[in-house]
Structures are given as C-alpha cells and as structure tokens.
Structure 1
C-alpha cells in the first residue's frame, strides 16, 4: 500500500501520467535525498574532526602540566598522588581521541563511498534524461 501511495504522490507531483515523467521525478528525488545524506555526513565529519582537535588540545595541556607540575600548581592545588590522576586523565583522553580518529577515518571512507554512489545515481539520471 505504501508503494502505491508513493507512486500516486509521484504522479501528482510530476503533473503527468507519463511513466517517463514519473520515473524522472522519482530518480531526481533519489538524487536529492542522496545529496542531503552526503551533506549530513560531511557535517558529522567536520564535527568529529573538531572534537578530535579539541581533545588533542586537552591532552597537550595535561601533558604540559604533568611535565611542569609548578604550572599546574598555579592553576589548581595539587597534592601528592595528583601526578597519577594527571597520567590517568591523559590516558583516558587519549583513548577517547583515538576512538574519535578511528571514527573519523571510517566516516570519511563512508563519505567517499556515498559520494561514489551519488555519482552513479547522477549518471543514471543524466542518461535517463537524455532518452
């Protein structure tokens, strides 16, 4: 039933009962949906890249404070054993950052695959429009 409703909506939107016009509109919508997905995925890649850069900056600051404990004492009150807390925090943030880097790499691969898929759909639509 859902397919019939979608087909009727396409016929109405195309303003024609010609199969060619309806199919052209359907293929065009598919390309538009893929472009939207690609844009969304690209935005997520940018978000993850920004988060990785932010985590990397935190790690650098924590490592600096661990190497130069007097700098850390200017900001917060350090007690004995806080060097262990700093080391654990660095390991924690590095694990999160490494996961973010891996996620970004996977997302970029998916983005490339999605872009290739969009190109194939656009080529098909161009061939269909040329008929």
Structure 2
C-alpha cells in the first residue's frame, strides 16, 4: 500500500496521467536508488580490501619479528615470554584478517547480486520507455 501511495505521489507531482508514465517514473527512481546503493557497496568493498592488505602487512611484520628476534630487539625491548606475545598477536591478526576476507567475499557476492537486480530494473525502464 505504501508503494502505491508513493506511485500516486510521483504521478501527482509530475502531473502524469498515464499509468505507464507512472510506472516508468517509478522504475527510473528505483534505478537511481540502486545505483546509489551500488556506489556505496563498491566503496565499502574497497575499504575492506584495503583493510585486508593492511592486516596482511601487519601479520608479515609480526612473523618477521617473531622469526628474527634481533630485529625485534631493535624495535622494542624484549622480555622473557615475548615470543608467546608475538605468536598470540599473529593468531589474533590472522583471525581478524580471515574475518575481513570473508566479509569482502560476501560483499562482492552481494554486489554482483545487486548489479543483476539493477540490470533487471533497467530492463523494465527500457520497456516502459518504449510504450
């Protein structure tokens, strides 16, 4: 019912009398909203991908320091038991990285599904533009 009211408001504001004009306008509005959503999703995918790269770099540095304690001693004063801290830190950042990588995969799947939805909506707009 809410969508019907929105369609009627669109028709009234555009001074359209034809049902096909109302439907075309509604589908065009849906396409515009979907394009905005896709833009947001693409930006979020870039953000998450950058986070995965950053976490990979942190993990590589921690693994390097863990395997080469002399380098780690140049960076920080090591105490006994710090090798355990390195191992725990590596596991912690790997868990975060794996979570972010899975989130990125899911976002990319969602993005592809949203792109297919946009394509369908654009096809409907094209049909009503022909009428």
TM-score, length basis structure 1:
0.93
Q: CA deviation at 1:72?
A: 1.0
Distance in 2 of aligned mates of 1:12 and 1:56: 55
Match of 1:73 in 2: 73
Match of 2:34 in 1: 34
Q: Deviations over 1:31-59 (max 9, x none)?
A: 11111111111111111000000100000
Contact 1:14 1:21 in 2 (8 A): no
Match of 1:126 in 2: 126
Match of 1:22 in 2: 22
Q: Which moved more, 1:114-123 or 1:4-13?
A: 4-13
Contact 2:24 2:125 in 1 (8 A): yes
Distance in 2 of aligned mates of 1:76 and 1:56: 21
**Gapped regions of structure 1 (runs ≥ 5):** none
Q: Which moved more, 1:10-19 or 1:111-120?
A: 10-19
**Gapped regions of structure 2 (runs ≥ 5):** none
Distance in 1 of aligned mates of 2:77 and 2:57: 22
Q: CA deviation at 1:106?
A: 1.0
Distance in 2 of aligned mates of 1:33 and 1:21: 18
Contact 2:21 2:128 in 1 (8 A): no
Distance in 2 of aligned mates of 1:23 and 1:29: 10
SS of the aligned residue for 1:24 comes to helix
Q: Count residues in correspondence.
A: 131
Flag the structure with more relative contact order, 1 or 2, with Cα contacts below 8 A and sequence separation at least 6: 2
TM-score, length basis structure 2:
0.93
